[in-house]
Structure 1
Amino acid sequence: MPHTEPLSGLDAAFLALDSRHTPMHMGAVGVFQPDGEPDHEQLWWLLAERAEAIPRLRLRLRETWFPPGGARWERDPVFDVERHLRVRRAPDTHDPATLSRYASEWIAEPLPEDAPPWQLDVLTGLPGGQFALLFKLHHALTDGAGAVQVAAGLFDGMPPHVDTPTPEPADRSWREQLDDVVRSARNGWDVVRSTRPLHNAPLAAFPSTARRLAFVRIDAADLRVIRKRHGGTPNDVALAVLSGALRSWLRWRGERVEDVTLRALIPVSLRSRVAGAGNRLSGYLCDLPIGIASPLGRLAHVRTCMDRNKSAGPQAGPGTLPLLANQLPVPLHRLFTGFAGVSSNALFDTTVTNVPLPSIPLRVGGAQLSAAYPVVPLAPGQALGVAVTPYRDAVHIGLNANADATPDIGVLAEALEKETAILHELCS
């Protein structure tokens, strides 16, 4: 890959949104089951060697003089893997909540600004002799699908991913350029029309540096039964389960749920359509029907909404906010995006992203990956982010919450399990 790489407009947007209260790093928590007692020193050296071989993990941000306010990625000439990789031991080897507590503090820690923006922790001493790898990196560096490609180089037998250089813009006719302008204008108008008055929504929150994570594991077989009986995609079923869980959770909190709809931003990867590194995203907006009492009614509503999104495609509609952000110059993001970000609740209430892993068994140092919980950053002013990772026989859900606004995130985690069981029972 080249020694330097320009930031895209969307990369710059994530940098502009980043602050002490809204860190824009995403991550994943992988749990591994070794055959015996792992050699932690040997594991550190193994991971260090593999991380050093991944080109994208050597990139740091460099400001540019021209254009003013611009920036580029460059290879860190003094890259030191020891700044990014550390081994910790769990304080309580018998408490199942040890991992989520540790991960909550870990995800809230800022990433270095003078070095490649990533961190990898090895947490040992978990129940059953397990250990965890906690990997986080700044969203400006890549998107969720890109992060999977980067992290693949840490696993046994997987070569380090080498980015495809971003191609030079092709010569386009005036008609094609005009079509792009018209499409962007139409999408921009769709975004404006979809904004709502700022209000005290259930998932709105004052800024906080504290985070609380919760992890949920759902059997993939249960979701397949629901799909077979009632239709929809795996993502449709997951969104319906989340809608029911949010309804139960809000009722437990004593909040009104009748006629309530929460809107989710669903990122859509364009990595298979657009070459290059960095962020390659669009999105859909999906209304989560909290006010519908029937589980099957919620599923039907979600299916209709997502079918409408997919009919329009990821290049059209109000969910194309990432595409519009990608068209703005980096200096403009530096000036305006941070201010605009505080109004994200006008367009959506939460982010729900799906980041699948390869279906093959994955191992590190011979220890098999048994669970993989993704973590999506919180948008400014929002209390909850939801990330979903299907892997082999399970669907793993990571809940990232503003700890001050959502200290009861464990109740929502339990509601996700119960809602899945309710939908499964309706298939009997």
Structure 2
Amino acid sequence: MSSELLDPLDLAFWHLESAGHPMHLGALALFESRPGAAGVVDLLASRAAAIPRLRMRVRDVLLPVGGAAWSTAKDFDVRRHVREVSLVGDDFTAEVTAAAGELMERPLERGLPPWEMYLLRGARDDRFAVLVKLHHALADGMRAVAIGAGIFDEIADVRRTGSRRARPLPPRSWLAGPRGLADFAQDRIEELGRAVGVGASVVRASRLDPRGLPALTAAPSGTRRLGTAVLPLDDVQQVRRVMGGTANDVLLAVVAGALRRWMHGRGERLPAAGPRALVPVSRRRPGSPPGAGNKLSAYLLQLPVAEPDPWLRLASVRKAMDRNKAAGPARGAGAVALLADQLPPLAHRFGAPLAGGAARMLFDVLVTSVPLPRSALSLGGCPLREIYPMAPLARGQSLAVAMSTYSGQVHIGLVADGKALPDLDRLADAAREELDELLALVCGHRAHEDASHG
């Protein structure tokens, strides 16, 4: 892979970045220590160096005007990207979480391949964690998982033995025949038609005065704080089986309830409508290879924080998500990312900062789910215990929520502006409290049904 133009959405993410708003994704992985794990940083470096995508950097191109391309960094040195950090405190979990938040503040160096990995070692024992940062232009959530998974023993073994070789793609012709040109023209007409509809929805959904949620739209400080929560997947599934819908519906309701508890504890006014969540969805077909670039759309969801009944909050979320899914990810204001495909590269270069500043007019908080491999993972023989995904903050916003399921648990990573949300740990606690209350309602419902049939 020598050179490859950035797709329009990748180019938008590249130009959205500023010093105070870095546009990288992250993941914090915590491992159980095992004897002989001293060489983990060397293992990380060697495995990262073996992933071709991590050798790519962004460079400007003459054509198209305003465009950029991925090209292989000829002077690539993996040691400029993989670093070791020694923690000094006694509480490993608290120390590693605080360190990860601080490291997420720092933008990636744009002249290098846009990624970093940090090995975080505890001061009192052999426990360690790995923080991975990937620029959003490099990958969306699914692609980031596919890239980052290369550091784990199981995926590295498969690559080394070649037991799962990808099928080669057929040669691609750049000279389309008449049928190909006709199909291309038809596709472009359909895309433009969808874009017009999405654009109109965005205009209708935009708020001229989005200042009603000070906790989530405080002035940016450039600082970052990480909060984490762990929810038992069995509890989520129990609620889903009684209420219906999907596990993601339950988790979105948990986020809504957690925000309600947290805002109420802060003494903030609970808005009658909202806050609005942007819920990304992948445009990749199920079972297809991750591929390069971002393939994203999204749904807009009003989180019913004003509703005092957890059961009704969940019902409201489920109903709204059912409407979103019926409309599909290519319609509605949430599909704003699809507009990137219709803009020329020069528009992304100069218009991205304006678009980034307008994000708060459309939504208040990002809530995303990142799929992970279902199999158990390890690094240097040390089992992966917990993994927390992290999403970037849009301009004018103070909180992003990312969730992943691994080893029977839902891991929630809360990335926040450090000064706007100094009480982020309270929000993490509120997520656990909300699921506990939903589970209690489910148990009460089942007990009532059992008594009725007894």
TM-score range, shorter chain: over 0.9
1:397 aligned to 392, 412, 429, which one? 412
- The answer for the alignment partner of 1:207 in structure 2 is 220
2:280 counterpart letter in structure 1: P
- Maintained 8 Å contact 1:93/1:126: yes
- Maintained 8 Å contact 2:401/2:412: yes
- The answer for the alignment partner of 1:358 in structure 2 is 373
Q: Report Cα offsets for 1:68-125 as digits up to 9, x if no partner.
A: 3221010000000000001112111335311111111111112111110100000111
Q: CA deviation at 1:29?
A: 0.1
Structure 1: distance between partners of 2:263 and 2:223: 21
CA RMSD of aligned residues (A): 2.0
- The answer for the alignment partner of 2:188 in structure 1 is 177
2:112 aligned to 110, 115, 118, which one? 115
1:64 aligned to 61, 65, 90, which one? 61
2:265 counterpart letter in structure 1: W
Structure 1: distance between partners of 2:87 and 2:435: 31
1:326 counterpart letter in structure 2: D
Residues 175 and 357 (structure 1), Cα distance of their counterparts in 2 relative to 1, 3 Å cut: closer
Residues 7 and 279 (structure 1), Cα distance of their counterparts in 2 relative to 1, 3 Å cut: same
2:339 aligned to 315, 324, 346, which one? 324
- The answer for the alignment partner of 2:202 in structure 1 is 191
The alignment status of 1:51 with 2:66, answered yes or no, reads no
Residues 290 and 127 (structure 1), Cα distance of their counterparts in 2 relative to 1, 3 Å cut: farther
Structure 1: distance between partners of 2:9 and 2:411: 27
Q: CA deviation at 1:126?
A: 6.5
- The answer for the alignment partner of 1:16 in structure 2 is 15
2:25 counterpart letter in structure 1: M
Counterpart of 2:153 in 1: which secondary structure?
coil
Q: Report Cα offsets for 1:186-221 as digits up to 9, x if no partner.
A: 111111111112331321121221011101111111
- Maintained 8 Å contact 1:359/1:391: yes
Counterpart of 1:157 in 2: which secondary structure?
helix
- The answer for the alignment partner of 2:283 in structure 1 is 270
- The answer for the alignment partner of 1:6 in structure 2 is 5
Q: CA deviation at 1:163?
A: 11
1:102 aligned to 88, 99, 110, which one? 99
Residues 164 and 412 (structure 1), Cα distance of their counterparts in 2 relative to 1, 3 Å cut: farther
**Stretch of structure 1 that moved more, 264-273 or 47-56:** 264-273
Q: CA deviation at 1:272?
A: 2.4
Q: Report Cα offsets for 1:241-297 as digits up to 9, x if no partner.
A: 010110011111111115241111111112227874011111111110011110010
- Maintained 8 Å contact 2:92/2:122: no
2:415 counterpart letter in structure 1: N
- The answer for the alignment partner of 2:449 in structure 1 is none
Gaps of 5+ in 2: 160-164, 444-454
Alignment length (residue pairs): 425
The alignment status of 1:27 with 2:38, answered yes or no, reads no
Q: Report Cα offsets for 1:316-341 as digits up to 9, x if no partner.
A: 22111111113322211111121121
- Maintained 8 Å contact 1:212/1:402: yes
Q: TM-score, normalised by structure 2?
A: 0.89
Structure 1: distance between partners of 2:56 and 2:166: 13
The alignment status of 1:225 with 2:238, answered yes or no, reads yes
- Maintained 8 Å contact 1:164/1:277: no
The alignment status of 1:387 with 2:425, answered yes or no, reads no
Q: Report Cα offsets for 1:153-206 as digits up to 9, x if no partner.
A: 111131459899897795344444333222221111111111112331321121
Residues 200 and 126 (structure 1), Cα distance of their counterparts in 2 relative to 1, 3 Å cut: farther
Structure 2: distance between partners of 1:402 and 1:93: 25
Equivalent residues in 2 for 1:137-156 (5 A)? 137-156=134-153
Structure 1: distance between partners of 2:28 and 2:400: 15
Structure 2: distance between partners of 1:355 and 1:126: 31
Counterpart of 1:60 in 2: which secondary structure?
strand
